[in-house]
Amino acid sequence: MLDPALLRANPAELAQRLEATRGYLLDVAAIESLESSRKQIQARTQELQNLRNTRSKAIGQAKAKGEDVSALMAEVAAFGDELKVSEIELERIRGEIEAIALGIPNLPHESVPPGSDEAGNVEQHRWGAPRVFDFSARDHVELGARHGWLDGDAGAKLSGARFTVLRGQLARLHRALAQFMLDLHSNEHGYEETNVPLIVNPDSMRGTGQLPKFEEDLFSTLVGESKRYLIPTSEVPLTNIIRDEIVEDGKLPLRMTSHSMCFRAEAGSHGRDTRGMIRQHQFEKVEMVSVSRPLESDAEHERMTRCAEVVLEKLGLPYRRMLLCTGDMGFSATKTYDLEVWLPSQETYREISSCSNCGDFQARRMQARWRNPATGKPEPVHTLNGSGVAVGRCMIAVMENYQNADGSIAVPEALRRYMGGIDVIA
């Protein structure tokens, strides 16, 4: 959520910035009308509260003197009835303003390039050279078909389209990657390993920006009579740990990492990457989340992205870093780097990690603050999140980049101790 002062002070100027950078059309007339009504009703509500308090005191004084208080009591009752109506109307208007505010995306950082879609993204650098094969490279689906290790048909029978069953050494490779990433981030990068729930309440989804805008992309269920959501990423529970909290300065930056299942309905993406495991309803990720002081979040963003890059470098996977343009960033982000790994079968780079600085956008939604030692007052923290990295896509990249002519797959050196010492999947 943006600073409410931006919405109240000059909605027309905010609307121009949002349209120019995000393509978002803010209804300025509706905002100004609601704000005008809010101010008017809030002033009357405060006036009624003061009148009721004043008359109530007068009743006490009159009773002490033995005077007739029936007229005063009737007046107080009338104030009370009007006050009740006024408070209900004030709450309704505030709810409408909040609903509009919750649907407004974050404003881009000044360093983010303008653009309407991924064509406007800017490459920052590359690492590693794509391998040149002396045979016809297979894609991960063909490689996984050996021994039925990657079985989309079984997944479809059990659950439907975009689910996959992994078996044997491929299932072990998938597990090894997650363990390798967790160990790297917790032992070398300073993130605290954290195990989080996979089902969260609406407040948690609202806090990180999934609700109300992206409900159609979520899987949900009922726990008793209460609606709960399957997490689309462990960013949601990790970040919401500090919801409604005041974090002491000495605990910042707070860095957490988690390996979890993730669930996405992928509404509106029919026909895209339906072959294999590129885009699944259920997948696994190792996530990094940082909570930082506002002045340190830019440096923390660079650090987090570098941690994700190290994963790919230790695995020997060629990648490039992209700075996303204004039109390609996520709803909550103020700045995002994507890491894209080389996939030989597609002869292109595909996203494997997205690292975003959300500034105070999520913190304002969550009421997550820190106590600034300079002022002694609570202020919104900055939150950051990044994939460190997507496990399934990383497995695909390893399979395709490390394949041999006979269809076997070499095991990267960094993973061999997690694979029982074997150096090839054959």
Question: Residue positions in the annotated binding site for ATP?
Answer: 264-266, 351-354
Q: How far is CA 93 from CA 48, 65, 159, 254, 296, in A?
A: 18, 43, 44, 36, 36
If you count them, how many residues does the chain have? 426
The catalytically annotated residue of 243, 279, 320, 350 is 279
204 membership: H or E segment, kind and range: helix 202-208
- Interatomic CA distance for residues 31 and 35, integer angstroms: 6
The catalytically annotated residue of 35, 193, 351, 379 is 351
Q: How far is CA 141 from CA 148, 156, 341, 397, 423, in A?
A: 10, 15, 17, 12, 21
293 is known as an active-site residue: no
38 is known as an active-site residue: no
The annotated binding site for L-serine is made up of 233-235, 287, 387
- Interatomic CA distance for residues 82 and 91, integer angstroms: 14
The catalytically annotated residue of 290, 292, 354, 356 is 354
Residue/partner pairs of 371-376 with CB below 8 Å, 24 or more apart: 371/246, 371/247, 371/248, 371/249, 372/249, 373/249
275 is known as an active-site residue: no
The catalytically annotated residue of 52, 206, 303, 393 is 393
Dihedral class, residue 321 (left if φ above 0, else alpha if ψ from -120 to 50, else beta): beta
The catalytically annotated residue of 55, 138, 206, 264 is 264
Q: How many CB atoms lie within 10 A of CB 192?
A: 12
Q: How far is CA 386 from the centre of its chain?
A: 9
The annotated binding site is made up of 233-235, 264-266, 287, 351-354, 387
221 membership: H or E segment, kind and range: strand 220-223
416 is known as an active-site residue: no
279 is known as an active-site residue: yes
Q: Which residues are catalytic?
A: 264, 279, 351, 354, 393
